[in-house]
Amino acid sequence: MTRFLLPLAVFAGLVALLWRGLDLDPREIPSNLIDKPAPAFSAPQLHEPGAQIGPADMAGRVWLLNVWASWCVACREEHGVISAMAKEVDIIGLNYKDKRADAIGWLEHWGNPYLASAHDLSGDIGIDYGVYGVPETFVIDQQGRIRYKHIGPVSPDQAKDTLMPIVNSLRSVVN
């Protein structure tokens, strides 16, 4: 009898796990960086390779780090949303594993919403931030701590209902 019950119990357990997995949102991958200092970097700016940009340049501000690339189809999908958000919040781009000329051409064609873009050709900065792929967007507070990570393209609803409320609540915090 146990010979039949054990495989049935294992099968029922696997079905339960798979069923639970259907309720999970793949865009909500937990990050161990939430509420921790944003990894420091100083990288060449995309448009001015002789100039550097990094989180230290944004100290005292609530800002977004948007990881993007010219080869990323989903980045094009979110670009209008990021451009609209740039009217309300400072955004630094992290151009990820991209050729400089391709990235500059892409921004010239679609518009440049960024205060500046760091050029991360090797992907090392992305690794430090735990980037799974592009696009990804991080909300960083006045003290330089990561407060939220969004994986995938930002939709208008996500910008309005999630990201901007977080930005605005962080702005209202008195330091």
Q: Each residue of 126-143: pLDDT tens digit?
A: 999 999 899 999 999 999
CATH entry 1.20.1200.10 includes domain 32-171: no
CA–CA dist 153, 72 (Å, integer): 10
* Per-domain residue ranges of the chain: 32-171
Res 31: pLDDT: 72
The b/e string for 140-155 (b: 16+ C-beta within 10 A; e otherwise) is: bbeebebbbbbbbbbe
Tens-digit pLDDT profile for residues 8-43: 666 666 666 666 656 555 545 567 899 999 999 999
Res 175: pLDDT: 55
pLDDT mean over 94-115:
98
